[in-house]
Amino acid sequence: MKYRVGIDIGGTFTDCVAIDTNGRVTIGKSPSTPPNFEVGFMNAIEAVANNLGTSLEEFLPSIDSLLHGCTVGTNALVEGRTAKVGLITSAGHADSIFIMRGGGRLANQTPDYIAHVSMHEKPAPLVPRSLVREIGERVTRDGSVLAKVDEAEVRAAVQSLLDSGVEAFAVSLLWSVSNDAHEREVGRIIAEMAPRAFVSLGSAMVNRIGEYERTVATVVNSLIGPEMTSYLSRMHDALAGSGFTRELGIMTCSGGLVSSTLAQEHPILTIGSGPVAGVVGSQTLARIGDVNEREREGDKALNTITTDMGGTTLDVGILSRGIPSTRSTTWFGQYAYYVPSIDVRSVGAGGGSIIHYHESSGTIRVGPESAGANPGPAAFGRGGTRPTITDADLVLGYLNPEYFLKGGIPLDLAAARTALETVGKPLGMTAEEVAAAAGRLVDSHMADEIRLLSIHEGHDPRDFTMFAYGGNGAVHAPAFARELGVRNVVIPLGDLAAGFSALGVASSDFLVVEEASVMTQHPFDLEKLNSTWSRLESSALERMVAQGVNASEVQFERIAEMRYSQQVHEVPVAAPLGEYTQSTADELVVEFEQEYARVFGETSVMANAGHQVSTLVVKAVAPTGTAGVLRESENGTGHPPLKGERGVIWYEEGLERRPTPIYHGEDFLRGMRIIGPAIVEYPDTTLVVRADQTARITPTGSIMVEITAEESN
C-alpha cells in the first residue's frame, strides 16, 4: 500500500493525514514543537503510522508523496525573525516602499481602524532606509531602455550593502515587467560578489504592473528566504535521518504544491498556504460528493463557501462552481504585495473574540479585540478575565467543561460565568443573558461578513453549500449558516475538521503559476500573445521539471485577464491553448463579454468601450497521485446511542435551559440521523445542531447538517 501524506503545522498541533491508494484516510496528531518544528512533524507522521498499526520506520518507505504546509515563513515575518535585507531600486524611485501608496496602507484594515483617522499609523519600514540603494537606470513601459545600468555603480551599491552586513538582497526596478535585463544584470553582479547571499529579483517574483506591490513581494521573499532555507534543510536532514530521501512537496498560497527547492527560492508562496489548503480540501470533498444531490447539477453546482473558525479569526473562501476565487494581491499587515493566491479573507471573529459592554450605546458588543491563545478565554484559567465567545459557548451549554480537546484543557465554568456577569452588570444582565446576547451577535456578525464577502464576488450565499472547519466551525456554523439562508453545512471529515488543512495539503497537485503583463488592445497583438504564452509555458514547464515532475504529466491552463478599456474590473477568462489567430482573439472577446455579464451583471456590459488583455497567466498542473477520498457505505441506522443530556440555552428560543441530547462523535455512523437541537461531542470539536436541523454522516465521513428553515431571527 502506498500513501500520500499531508502535514500541516499549526500553532498548537501538527496534523497529519495519510491517504492510501484506495482513498482511505488515516489521521494523526501531535503537539507542535517550536522552534524545532521538525520534531512535531516526525511525531505526527509517527502517530499516523501507529494508527495504521505500524512504526515510523516501516511506514516511511510506503510514502509516495510527503507534502507539507508550513508556517515558518509566516511566523518569521510576524515575529520579526527575518534576514537583514538590502534593497536595490531604480534611481529616483526608492521611496515607493516608504510611501506605501498613501491610503493604500489602509486597504486591508478593519472599519473601526479606518474610521479613527487620528490614530492611523504607518508600520515600521520593511527595510530601513539605510539599507536601500538606488542605481541609475531607466526602462519604459514598452521595455525600451532610456538609461543603461552602470556596472561600476551597481558594484559600489552591492559592496556598500555587504559592508552594512546584509544577508539577503531584493532587487526591484521600474518596468522590470516589460524588460528584466537590468534586474538580471544586477542579480548576476550580486551572485559574483556574494555567491552565498539570498537574492530575489522583482521580475522573477511576479510579472504584474505596479512597482510598489512587486517591490514588497521581493523584499518579503528575501526577508524570509534564509529562514526558510535553513528550516527546509533541517527538515530534509530529519527525514533523511529516518531513511526518507524523496523531496518534500510544499503547499503554496496559489492552491498547489511546489518542490522544497522551489519553495526555498520563492518562500513567499508559503505565506497564507494553511487557510488555502482548507479551501483545496473542501474543493476535493465537494467534487467527490460531500454536497447534497440537488446541489450537484446546473449553474450553481459545487458552489461552496468555506469557513474556518479558530480562536482569533474566521477565514472565508468562496468556490464558484467548484473553482476557488483567486486574487493577485495579499497583505502582510499593512503592506500589500503581489502573489497569485487563492482568495481567503480573514474576519476578526473567533472563539477568543472579547465580549464587552459599550458604554455610550448601552449595548453588549463582541470583538474586534481578541484574547487569542494567550491569555485566552477566562475559562482556560490562564489569566484571562475578560469573557470571550468560548466562555459564552461554555455557559450556554454548547461545550462540555470536561471534554474540551478530549479533556486536554479543563474549562472553568465558574470563571467564565464571573467574567460574563461583570460585563452584564451595567445592564443588569445575568451571565446567561450576556452569553446568549454574545452568541447571537457573533453569529449574526459572521453571517453579515460572509454575506458581504459573497456580494463582493457577486454571489448570493443562499446558492452555496458551506464547509465549516477549525476548532469552532462546528459550534457556530449551523447558526450563522441558517442566518445566511445556506441550506447545507458540511463539517469535513468530522473530527478532522479541527485540523482540516492537512487534508487539503494531502489532496493538492503540483502547481506552478507564471504571469506576464501584456496590455494589448483589441484587435490584440497576436504576436505578443503567442510569444508570451509560449514563454510562460516553457518557463512553467522548466520549473515543473526542475522540481522532479515528469514533463509528460504537466497540463497547462491558460487564463487571460481582460477588461473594458475604460473600466477597471478585470475578469479572468479561460483561454484556449495553442497558437492564436485573429479568430481565437475574437473568441476571447466573446468569452470575456459573457463572463463579465455573468460576474457583474448584464447592465455592466459596455459594448462600445473596447477590450484589453492586461495579464496572461499560465498554470502548470501535475497531479500528485490518485485524487479522492474513499466513499464508504452505511454502517448504522436510527440515531446514535445517547451519551447524556445537558441543559442548553438556545438563544433563538429564549433563556430557558432546554434539556438537550448529547452524543458521542465516535458513535455517529453513516446511515444515522440526529435531529436538532442536539450536541455531538468529538475529541477536537463540538457539533451544535440547532432546532429543525438534521445531521448525518456522508459516505466520506463528513457531517452534513441540513437546514430546513430558510432564515430565522
Q: Which of residues 257-286 bind another protein (CB under 8 A)?
A: none
Q: Does 103 bind another protein (CB under 8 A)?
A: yes
Pairing of strands 571-575, 555-564: antiparallel
Nearer to another protein, 15 or 211 (CB): 211
CB 419 within 8 A of CB 385: yes
**Minimum CB separation from another protein for residue 711, in Å?**
7
**Minimum CB separation from another protein for residue 656, in Å?**
17
Picking from 357, 350, 373, the residue whose alpha carbon sits closest to that of residue 442 is 350
Nearer to another protein, 366 or 575 (CB): 366
Nearer to another protein, 266 or 563 (CB): 563
Which residue is it, cell 469557513?
307
Q: Does 395 bind another protein (CB under 8 A)?
A: no
Residues listed for the chain: 713
Q: Does 449 bind another protein (CB under 8 A)?
A: yes
**Minimum CB separation from another protein for residue 622, in Å?**
33
Nearer to another protein, 108 or 694 (CB): 108
Task: Please pick, from the candidates 31, 55, 79, 99, the single residue that binds another protein as defined by CB under 8 A.
Answer: 99
Q: Does 148 bind another protein (CB under 8 A)?
A: yes
Query: What is the number of other CB atoms lying within 10 angstroms of the CB of residue 129?
Result: 11
Interface with another protein by CB under 8 A: which range of 59-67, 192-200, 272-280, 455-463? 455-463
Residue 253 CA, chain-centre distance (Å), reads 6
Q: Count the site residues for another protein by CB under 8 A.
A: 84
**Minimum CB separation from another protein for residue 452, in Å?**
5
Q: Does 151 bind another protein (CB under 8 A)?
A: no
Q: Does 619 bind another protein (CB under 8 A)?
A: no
| Interface positions, 558-577, toward another protein (CB under 8 A) | 563-569
Cβ burial 526-560 (10 Å sphere, 16+ → b, else e): eeebeebbeebbebbbebbeebebeeeebebebbb
Cα 494 to Cα 459: distance, rounded to the nearest angstrom:
27
Q: What is the DSSP letter of 524?
A: P
Q: Does 93 bind another protein (CB under 8 A)?
A: yes
End-to-end CA distance of the chain: 51
Burial class (CB in 10 A: 0-12, 13-18, 19+), 518: buried
Task: Please pick, from the candidates 603, 633, 638, 659, the single residue that binds another protein as defined by CB under 8 A.
Answer: 603
| Interface positions, 668-687, toward another protein (CB under 8 A) | none
Which residue is it, cell 515575529?
79
Interface with another protein by CB under 8 A: which range of 86-94, 279-287, 488-496, 680-688? 86-94
Q: What is the DSSP letter of 640?
A: P
Q: Does 634 bind another protein (CB under 8 A)?
A: no
| Interface positions, 31-50, toward another protein (CB under 8 A) | none
| Interface positions, 163-222, toward another protein (CB under 8 A) | 174-175, 177, 209-213
| Three state DSSP letters for 374-407 | CCCCHHHCCCCCCCEHHHHHHHHCCCCCCCCCCC
Q: Does 393 bind another protein (CB under 8 A)?
A: no
Nearer to another protein, 376 or 461 (CB): 461
Q: Which three cell numbers stand for residue 308?
A: 474556518
Nearer to another protein, 597 or 669 (CB): 597
Cα 223 to Cα 675: distance, rounded to the nearest angstrom:
52
Cα 82 to Cα 90: distance, rounded to the nearest angstrom:
24
Q: Does 459 bind another protein (CB under 8 A)?
A: no
Residue 572 CA, chain-centre distance (Å), reads 20
Nearer to another protein, 612 or 624 (CB): 612
Nearer to another protein, 447 or 559 (CB): 447
Q: Does 67 bind another protein (CB under 8 A)?
A: no
Task: Please pick, from the candidates 39, 56, 519, 630, the single residue that binds another protein as defined by CB under 8 A.
Answer: 519
**Minimum CB separation from another protein for residue 136, in Å?**
4
Q: What's the angle, vertex CA 281, arms to CA 462 and CA 687, rounded to 5?
A: 65
Interface with another protein by CB under 8 A: which range of 105-113, 270-278, 313-321, 658-666? 105-113
Q: CA separation (Å) from 304 to 120, 279, 318, 381, 464?
A: 36, 9, 6, 37, 5
Nearer to another protein, 91 or 373 (CB): 91
Picking from 215, 346, 203, 370, the residue whose alpha carbon sits closest to that of residue 272 is 346
Q: Does 598 bind another protein (CB under 8 A)?
A: no
Task: Please pick, from the candidates 140, 233, 385, 635, the single residue that binds another protein as defined by CB under 8 A.
Answer: 140
| Interface positions, 410-429, toward another protein (CB under 8 A) | 427
Nearer to another protein, 1 or 607 (CB): 607
3-class secondary structure, 476 = helix
Give the bridge partners for 706, in sequence order: 488, 694
| Interface positions, 365-384, toward another protein (CB under 8 A) | 365
Task: Please pick, from the candidates 361, 550, 552, 633, the single residue that binds another protein as defined by CB under 8 A.
Answer: 361
Q: Does 326 bind another protein (CB under 8 A)?
A: no
Q: Does 595 bind another protein (CB under 8 A)?
A: no
Nearer to another protein, 114 or 642 (CB): 114
Within 8 A by CB and 6+ apart from 704, the residues are 290, 292, 488, 489, 490, 695, 696, 697, 698
Q: Does 91 bind another protein (CB under 8 A)?
A: yes
**Minimum CB separation from another protein for residue 338, in Å?**
11
Cα 128 to Cα 119: distance, rounded to the nearest angstrom:
23
Specify the DSSP element, H or E, that contains 185.
helix 181-193
Cα 256 to Cα 549: distance, rounded to the nearest angstrom:
13
Q: In 520-574, where does DSSP find H-type helix?
A: 526-546
Nearer to another protein, 174 or 420 (CB): 174
| Interface positions, 108-137, toward another protein (CB under 8 A) | 111-112, 114-122, 129-130, 134, 136-137
Q: What is the DSSP letter of 552?
A: G
Q: Which amino acid is at 649?
A: I
Q: Does 515 bind another protein (CB under 8 A)?
A: no
**Minimum CB separation from another protein for residue 135, in Å?**
9
Nearer to another protein, 87 or 250 (CB): 87
Picking from 357, 358, 406, 351, the residue whose alpha carbon sits closest to that of residue 379 is 351
